[in-house]
Every structure is written in structure tokens, then in C-alpha cells.
Amino acid sequence: MTGTDDDLVDMLTPPAPGPSMDWRYRQGVVNSFNATTYENVVAVGGTTFVNLPCINISAAEATVLATTVSPAVALALIVSDRGTSILAIVGRLVTP
């Protein structure tokens, strides 16, 4: 890798406040999922979260999450410039 230490600082620090929010990826494992109400229990890095919001999960995918044993899901950690954050289920991880 070429560059200076300043390049690394820029890459590893959050962006300056602006109209967009910082979006980071996490992975979780679904412990339970209700395909009708979307109520859920998801383990993320040793912590259990209850009823995370879902981003664009179809009814068909909700059924898969409800009927598959411990599916891995993609999670978005969205951080605002005020320091508040939202963790949300983005979808099921599938390897082609």
C-alpha cells in the first residue's frame, strides 16, 4: 500500500456531517422471525437484539427467515451526524 498515515486517518474516521449518513455493514444470525409481523430476535457479535427494523424484506424472504434454522442476515448500522444509530435487517445472506 502506498500513501501516508494521513491517508489511513481519512479512511478510518467517520465522514464530516452532511446530508448523508454513515452506513456500515454487520452480520447477524436470526434466532427467531415471525413472517407475518416481522417480529425478530437477532444475535449480533454476542449481543441479542429484539425487533430490529427491516429494510425492504419481501414476504417471500420473511417466510425463508422464519423457516430456516439460524440464517445469517446482512445488517445496516446507520449512524447520523448527531451520533444516534439504527441497526436494521437488510436481508438474507446468500452465497451463489
Between CA 52 and CA 49 the distance in angstroms is 7
Would you say residue 34 has pLDDT above 80?
yes
Residue type, 42: V
Q: Based on the number of CB atoms within 10 Å of its own CB, is 96 exposed (0-12), middle (13-18) or buried (19 or more)?
A: exposed
Instruction: Express each pLDDT in 41-88 by its tens digit.
Output: 999 988 999 999 999 899 999 999 999 999 999 999 888 767 778 899
In CATH terms, the fold of domain 5-92 is OB fold (Dihydrolipoamide Acetyltransferase, E2P) (2.40.50)
Q: Please report, for the chain, the start and end positions of each structural domain, with discontinuous segments joined by +.
A: 5-92
Contact 75, 26 (CB under 8 A): yes
Contact 71, 90 (CB under 8 A): no
Q: For residues 3-28, give the mean pLDDT.
A: 67
Range 5-23 average pLDDT = 62
Which pLDDT value is given to residue 1?
44
